[in-house]
């Protein structure tokens, strides 16, 4: 199994990712990891922090001569803005953020102690890990991509841009919906035998754990609620050239917690960023008096970036499921097992 651990604060010295369980013998191109990190920083509506940082990963362990060793891979992404010890105290928690709940949970007197780790800056670590997993998946011709479907209810490029511009003008923020698609997966990843092994459950957990994501659906999703079964279940067909196949994919590539060979299709809602330049009312935690919520440097819209993070989160789950089924120690052994499996089910 794959295991990961991340560390680091938004304005600390660095963001660190550790990935255990990658097989030995996998060729790693660090430029592909850095390209994914750059994608996370892009998108109309990003804030000034993305103009400061130039995220790139340094490999600290687990790779020798651009090849994995089978030991834990450690990535370090340094923060150019590492002013955590000099930043001001935050006394007025932001509605929609972890500020107040985290402060009460851990007994802090400064929201800064919460927001530094609760910040979506931590998703740089997710993307670093996901980039490694994408390299593994590509060895099996599996790809993961994303796109923005809507922003503020608008689904045309110009409409979405106009909504973001409106939010900027009003010192507000805006959310939207993105879609993640995984192609090339074999039948049989995941399992129905225990709830925590279901592929849909694992993917849902991975995406909903991304800061700011508040809803997820798989395939037709909520559309099932207004349809008859005869209208929405994907009929099964067979031909000698294709094997088993479907003409529709309302299931989103997963049935009974197992990949069924069709594309995996996920959609998720990214809420508007909690930091508003024209802040909502809050309470000063020291005086208990009504006050405006804190204003921190932030973005206006991150729906596109959230899609990139979700790709990485999904890639981690899919790579984990792949290794769970086909082995883990050596990349060539895994490829042999994969080929034998495909031959069996052909």
Cα–chain-centroid distance for residue 74?
Answer: 19
Topology (CATH) of 3-345? Chorismate synthase, AroC fold (3.60.150)
Residue 118's pLDDT band, with cuts at 50, 70 and 90, is: very high
How far is it, in rounded angstroms, from Cα 208 to Cα 268? Answer: 8
Domains in the chain: boundaries: 3-345
pLDDT, residue 49, reads: 67
Show the 3-state SS of 33-77: HHHHHHHHHCCCCCCCHHHHCCCCEEEEECEECCEECCCCEEEEE
Residue with structure tokens 């005086």?
Answer: 287
Region 248-253: what's the mean pLDDT?
98
Average pLDDT over residues 212-217: 97
Instruction: Summarize the confidence of residues 90-117 as an average pLDDT.
Output: 97
Query: What is the pTM for the complete model shown?
Result: 0.95
Max CA separation in the chain (angstroms) = 74
Query: Residue 346: pLDDT band by 50, 70, 90 thresholds?
Result: confident
pLDDT digits (tens, 9 = 90+) for 307-332: 999 999 999 999 999 999 999 999 99
Share of the chain above pLDDT 90, in %: 92
Contact criterion met (CB below 8 Å) for 200 and 257? yes
């Amino acid at each position: 199994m794959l295991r990961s651990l991340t560390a680091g604060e938004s304005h600390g010295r660095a963001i660190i990712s550790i990935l255990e369980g990658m097989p030995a013998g996998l060729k790693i191109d660090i430029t592909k990891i850095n390209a994914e990190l750059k994608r996370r920083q892009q998108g109309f509506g990003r804030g000034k922090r993305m103009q400061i940082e130039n995220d790139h990963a340094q490999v600290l362990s687990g790779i020798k001569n651009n090849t994995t060793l089978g030991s834990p891979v450690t990535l370090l992404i340094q923060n150019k803005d590492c002013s955590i010890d000099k930043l001001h105290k935050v006394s007025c928690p932001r509605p929609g953020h972890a500020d107040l709940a985290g402060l009460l949970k851990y007994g802090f007197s400064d929201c800064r102690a919460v927001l530094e780790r609760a910040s979506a800056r931590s998703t740089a670590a997710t993307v670093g890990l996901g980039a490694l997993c994408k390299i593994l998946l590509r060895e099996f011709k599996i790809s993961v991509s994303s796109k923005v479907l809507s922003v503020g209810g608008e689904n045309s490029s110009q409409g979405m841009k106009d909504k973001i511009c409106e939010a900027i003008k009003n010192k507000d923020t805006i959310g939207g919906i993105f879609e993640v698609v995984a192609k090339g997966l074999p039948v049989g990843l995941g399992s129905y035998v225990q709830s925590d092994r279901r592929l849909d459950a694992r993917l849902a957990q991975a995406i909903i754990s991304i800061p700011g994501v508040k809803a997820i659906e798989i395939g037709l999703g909520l559309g099932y609620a207004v349809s008859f079964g005869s209208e929405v279940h994907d009929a099964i067909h067979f031909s000698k050239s294709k094997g088993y196949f479907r003409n529709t994919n309302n299931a989103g590539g997963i049935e009974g917690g197992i990949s069924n060979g069709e594309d995996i299709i996920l959609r998720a809602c990214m809420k508007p960023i909690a930091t508003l330049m024209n802040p909502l009312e809050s309470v000063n935690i020291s005086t208990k008096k009504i006050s405006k919520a804190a204003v921190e440097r932030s973005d206006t819209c991150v729906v596109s970036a959230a899609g990139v993070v979700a790709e990485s989160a999904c890639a981690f789950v899919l790579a984990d499921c792949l290794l769970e089924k086909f082995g883990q120690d050596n990349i060539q052994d895994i490829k042999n097992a994969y080929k034998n499996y495909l031959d069996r089910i052909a």
